[in-house]
Amino acid sequence: MIAAHTVAQVRAAEGRVMARLPAGLLMQRAAAAVDVESARILREVAGGVVGRRVVVLAGAGDNGGDALFAAARTARRGADVLVLTTSGRVHAAGAAAARAAGARVRPFAPEDTALCAEADLLLDGIAGIGGSGGLREPLRPLPAALDADGGPVVLALDLPSGLDADAGRLDAAVLPADVTLTFGTAKPCHLLGPAARTCGRLVVVDIGITGELPAPSVRRLEPVDAARAWRRARPEDDKYSRGVVGVVAGGADYTGAAVLAVEGAVRAGAGMVRYGGPAHPAELVRHVRPEVVVGPGRVQAWVLGPGVAPDDEEQGARIAAALASGEPAVVDAGALARLPEGLAPQHVLTPHAGELARLLATLGRDVDRAAVEADPAAHAHDAARATGATVLLKGTVTTVAGPGGDVVTAASATPWLSTAGAGDVLAGILGTVLAGHAGALAADPTRAAELAAVAAVVHGRAAALAAAGGPVAARDVADAVPAALTSLPGW
């Protein structure tokens, strides 16, 4: 898991640690890590450190201070270091250290854009967690100038300048990084889309504040977390204790969605899958999966809505009854258009951006698909708070928001997963995860957010395995789930 903390949480933790340490020690730890990474990058891309061109952009705050002390260390290794200050103010001790080590230090001028583009390595110490409002003039043209092939490796200190540390938004000019070294803990911008895409490879540097940090406000689940959370079959299990998934999916028009949701649930290891729906998809489901039981009975978790038409009264009644039962449920596609009052955290809504925009519009919000894609976490959160349910928003980064404010993400495994029916398979996988943890969810329904992200991690890994770098069909994603599970580190 990668844990991310807000600016307020980081500042509080840093304050407590700094009160007991000599002044400036945390900054030296940050600068030392930047220097080591800089040297590693220079050896990799320029074959060495001595004489290699390093341009350091240093802003007015402590982010600039980190950059200046890092510049001093890298200059002492023999690199050719030019520090360009981007504000009238500069960290005085840092600037003195850089100069004493042989770095040149002067203000940034618009024509320096070309110098930046020619460097082997560009350190971004313009602004960190104190930044706001995007890149300012005269730095705004810089990202476009660096975009060309053969430009420098950009190493961001703490975060790419221009990002708001606490948000996934990307609505202002940002200097995208190839590598981001973040200090103490990740920040929400590193994990939330679309901002996360500008961070490159993320490295969290231990500067000694971990013990003072509270529970993270945003988490990214990794494959090893999915392995830990996945319920294994136990010797004492029977099919009921392993979890029965009830699938209400498909109808006269969309029969395939029923098959795919069922496939997802079966392949993820449900003890039993019960299917509820009209005769035609039911026959198809039985044909593809003879192990499925058609008709009502006890279930531990539901998968509701894939392929259900808005005017399908028969399926609508099954969905309403399932939601009224209070059992954990995946609420997908057609079921999203008929949400009752009184949803709870064990109900996991699984919209894509367009569906979430429609859902929020029914709640009186003035949002469209583009607005959701511009800030997925904020909109998922809004829907979770307004409905009382957990919301898993699909997309490049899968973003799960609980009604209590927690956010859990799963990074994309392959963009080939954006294919018709992939969401139906995810719904089935998640149904099995919820059914397998029905007892834990009864005790603490807020665990649904983490479990939803677990399902997304496994779905993504199955897609990556099945795709093997190329296209993949939804059905193949379901088929790859067992192999995806056994390939998890720590399985």
Ligand X SMILES: NC(=O)C1=CN([C@@H]2O[C@H](COP(=O)(O)OP(=O)(O)OC[C@H]3O[C@@H](n4cnc5c(N)ncnc54)[C@H](O)[C@@H]3O)[C@@H](O)[C@H]2O)[C@@H](O)CC1
Ligand Y SMILES: Nc1ncnc2c1ncn2[C@@H]1O[C@H](COP(=O)(O)OP(=O)(O)O)[C@@H](O)[C@H]1O
Find the part of the chain contacting K ion (CB under 5 A) among 6-14, 160-168, 316-324, 441-449: 160-168
Please identify which residue in 124, 225, 373, 382 interacts with K ion, judged by CB under 5 A. Answer: 124
Closest CA to 401 of 363, 422, 375: 375
Tokens of 17: 């640690």
Residue 61 binding target from ligand X, ligand Y, K ion, none, CB below 5 to 8 Å by type: ligand X
Q: How far is the CB of 45 from K ion (least distance, A)?
A: 20
CA distances from 186 to 28, 190, 203, 213, 392 (A): 19, 6, 8, 11, 22
Q: How many residues bind ligand X (CB under 6 A)?
A: 29
Q: CB-wise, 244 or 457, nearer to ligand Y?
A: 457
> Using CB distances below 5 to 8 A depending on partner kind, what does residue 415 bind out of K ion, ligand Y, ligand X, none?
ligand Y
Distances (CA, A) of 265 to 291, 416, 418: 12, 21, 19
Instruction: By CB under 6 A, tell whether 355 contacts ligand X.
Output: no
Q: Considering beta carbons, is residue 79 or 481 the nearer one to ligand Y?
A: 481
What is the distance between the alpha carbons of residues 336 and 350, in angstroms, rounded to a whole number?
Answer: 8
Site for ligand Y in 40-79 (CB under 6 A): none
The answer for residues whose C-beta is within 8 angstroms of residue 128's C-beta and 6 or more apart is 61, 62, 63, 66, 157, 158, 159, 161, 165
Positions in 406-445 near ligand X (CB under 6 A): none
- Alpha carbon distance 121, 40 (integer Å): 11
80-85/153-157 β-pairing: unpaired
Which residues 397-416 are close enough to bind ligand Y by CB under 6 A?
A: 398, 412, 415
Q: Is the dihedral of CA 26, 205, 194, 376 positive or negative?
A: negative
Distance (Å, whole) CA 301 – CA 330: 8
Q: Interface mask (CB under 6 A) for ligand X, residues 35-64, using x and -?
A: ------------------------xxxxxx
Q: By C-beta, is 420 or 442 nearer to ligand Y? A: 420
Binders of ligand X among residues 1 to 30 (CB under 6 A) are 14, 18, 26-27, 30
C-alpha separations of 21 from 27, 33, 163, 209 in Å: 11, 18, 29, 11
Residues that bind ligand X (CB under 6 A): 14, 18, 26-27, 30, 59-64, 66, 87, 126-136, 157-158, 162, 183, 207
Interface with ligand Y (CB under 6 A):
352, 394-396, 398, 412, 415, 417-418, 420-424, 426, 459
The footprint of K ion (CB under 5 A) covers 124, 156-157, 161
